[in-house]
Amino acid sequence: MEKRQPCMQGFLLCLILSVLLQGSLSHARSDAYTINCSGFHLNGVDPAAFQPVFDRKAFRPVINSSIPTLVNISFTLSAILDVDAQIQLLTSFLWVNMVWDNPFIRWNPEECGGLKKISVAAKNLWLPDIFIIEFMDVDQTPPSLSAYVYSSGRIKYDKPMKVTSICNLDIFYFPFDQQNCTLTFSSFLYTVDNLLLGMEKEVWEITDNSRSVIRTQGEWELLGINKATPKLIVGSSLYDQIMFYVTIRRRPRLYIINLLVPSGFLIAIDALSFFLPAEGGNRAPFKMTLLLGYTVFLLMMNDLLPPSGTPLISVYFALCLSLMVVSLLESIFLTYLLNLVTTQPPPMPRWLHSLLLRYLRATDCYKKRPQKETKGSGPSLVHLPGLMEPVVMAAWVPGSSETSPNGDPGSKRLPLESSAVNLWRKFCHILDSLLFWLYLLFMSSSLITIIALWNS
């Protein structure tokens, strides 16, 4: 009897403990949605245990239907495949991740060797109908994907998606453009009463992941991703949505090398060809050849330009072309003028004459001054009267022309004429350089304007 007493006490303790345990276990078992996972770690997952869950897949998995399902989403932008400015489409590749809770799935990992997650074919589960509003293509998601189901009922579903989305593309700044495309994730059917969207990752995390995943060194570079979460109102229904603003920038190297540099060289050569002598008659053919070359260049490079819209670069090309045409016209005009004044010099208007003289005197003094300092006053004194002479003589041209028919020797008329021709020729050169400076001024100002626009 004395020996039994501790045993009885122990028995009572055991009984109480077992009753307590039993109670807690039965309480756990009373939860109708707990899956009996014993044997999963030995014999594999029992399909029968999951059958009740699979049977419910047609319905949104909630116990109280007035509680909305919270779906957290994120994505990784793994490639930017194409940006089509003509039909305003951005083609990209996304890995979309979705996470939500299914209250009908639950098991105790300790009952089955610490099994925490199981992969289940996604077609057996309820899936949220999240889509991208800008999506303009049929969904090419592979059909047989799986989802991870966690012991707490959390479901993680990832799917790859080739997204052809509509995007408002502005190619004005081509090739230095950057585009801001929107990807709006929203439910097709469920309003805010039934489905809410959340973020699975922060936006900076999405941006960093995408940057490290994008391996393509293609034309486009990911600059950043931002988000906004305005609700979408359609009629009387309110839909939850998350908008991601994907900012991408074009890598302009190809276009700089193939379009801007050759064009710049051609226009530089065109400007430099003003230094060819105007008299030789070489300048106009040279410019004509350049113009022809530029036209061929434009024809060949047309494929590189965006097929629609008027980017600034087209304006730039048109400007280069018109500058070339204008300089060619200038050369033709100058050749004509030089030809005219050497064969039959028209009388020079008085105002032009005095203006020209004043200018020549000014530039001559300006030019001679440095020489004066080195060589003394000799050469300038010699030269200045030489310049004065045509002035005086040209002023006498009308008088001399009257006297020449009277039988004056032609030997006196010849230097008079040649000096007039000389003066005209000087005028042509001055006009040439004046037009050249005007051309340079216009070219540089318009180029600077265009470059400033590109930089902005």
Ligand X SMILES: *[C@@H]1O[C@H](CO)[C@@H](O)[C@H](O)[C@H]1NC(C)=O
Map residues 192-221 to x or -, x wherever contact with ligand X holds by CB under 6 A: ------x-----------------------
Nearer Cβ to ligand X, position 128 or 390?
A: 128
Stretch that binds ligand X, among 61-69, 323-331, 392-400, 440-448 (CB under 6 A): 61-69
Of 202 and 402, the one with the shorter C-beta distance to ligand X is 202
By CB under 6 A, the residues from 141 to 170 that bind ligand X are 154
Residues 209, 75 contacting (CB under 8 angstroms): no
Q: With CB under 6 A as the contact rule, which of the stretches 33-41, 208-216, 250-258, 413-421 interacts with ligand X? A: 33-41
Q: Give the list of residues 6+ apart from residue 276 with CB closer than 8 angstroms, or none.
A: 282, 283, 286
103 binding ligand X? (CB under 6 A): no
**Does residue 64 touch ligand X according to CB under 6 A?**
yes
417's CB contacts (< 8 A; 6+ apart) are 345
Count of residues engaged in binding ligand X, rule: CB under 6 A: 18
Question: Is residue 100 involved in binding ligand X (CB under 6 A)?
Answer: yes
User: Out of 101, 158, 279, 364, which residue is the one contacting ligand X (CB under 6 A)?
Assistant: 101
Tell me the backbone φ, ψ of residue 220, rounded to 5 degrees.
Answer: -115, 145
d(CA 76, CA 175): 26
CB of residue 21 vs ligand X: minimum separation in angstroms? 13
Smallest gap from Cβ 192 to ligand X, in A, equals 14
Kindly give the interhelix angle for 312-343 and 283-301, rounded to the nearest 10 degrees: 160
According to the binding rule CB under 6 A, does residue 247 interact with ligand X? yes
Contacts 24+ apart (CB under 8 A), 263-267: 263/294, 263/297, 263/316, 263/317, 263/320, 266/290, 266/293, 266/294, 266/297, 266/320, 266/324, 267/320, 267/323, 267/324, 267/443
Separation between Cα atoms, residue 51 and residue 41, nearest integer Å: 18
88 touches ligand X (CB under 6 A)? no
- The reply on whether position 343 binds ligand X by CB under 6 A is no
Using rule CB under 6 A, residue 66 touches ligand X = yes
Q: Which is nearer to ligand X, 154 or 368 (CB)?
A: 154
Query: Residue 121 contacts by C-beta under 8 Å, 6 or more apart in sequence?
Result: 144, 145, 146
186: three-class secondary structure by DSSP: strand
Question: Which residue, among 159, 167, 91, has the nearest Cα to 129 in the 3D structure?
Answer: 159
Q: Which is nearer to ligand X, 33 or 245 (CB)?
A: 245
Q: Answer yes or no whether residue 73 interacts with ligand X by CB under 6 A.
A: no
Region from 62-70, 132-140, 352-360, 368-376 binding ligand X, contact rule CB under 6 A: 62-70
Residue reference for tokens 């004044």: 341
Give the range of 97-105, 277-285, 303-311, 317-325 binding ligand X by CB under 6 A: 97-105
Q: Which two tokens stand for residue 310?
A: 């008027």
Q: Is the dihedral of CA 36, 42, 45, 51 positive or negative?
A: negative
User: What are 149's strand-pairing partners?
Assistant: 118, 155
Interacting span for ligand X (CB under 6 A) from 15-23, 95-103, 137-145, 279-287 = 95-103
Q: d(Cα 171, Cα 85) in Å, to the nearest integer?
A: 7
| Contact flag: residue 342 with ligand X (CB under 6 A) | no
Q: Answer yes or no whether residue 264 interacts with ligand X by CB under 6 A.
A: no
Judged by beta carbon, residue 168 or residue 354, the one nearer ligand X is 168
H/E stretch holding 182: strand 178-187
| 226 lies in the site for ligand X, by CB under 6 A | yes
Residues in Cβ contact with 455 at an 8 Å cutoff, skipping those fewer than 6 apart: 176
The answer to whether residue 108 forms part of the interface with ligand X (CB under 6 A) is no
Does residue 456 interact with ligand X by CB under 6 A?
no
Contact footprint for ligand X (CB under 6 A) = 29, 36, 38-39, 64, 66-67, 70, 72, 99-101, 154, 180, 198, 226, 245, 247
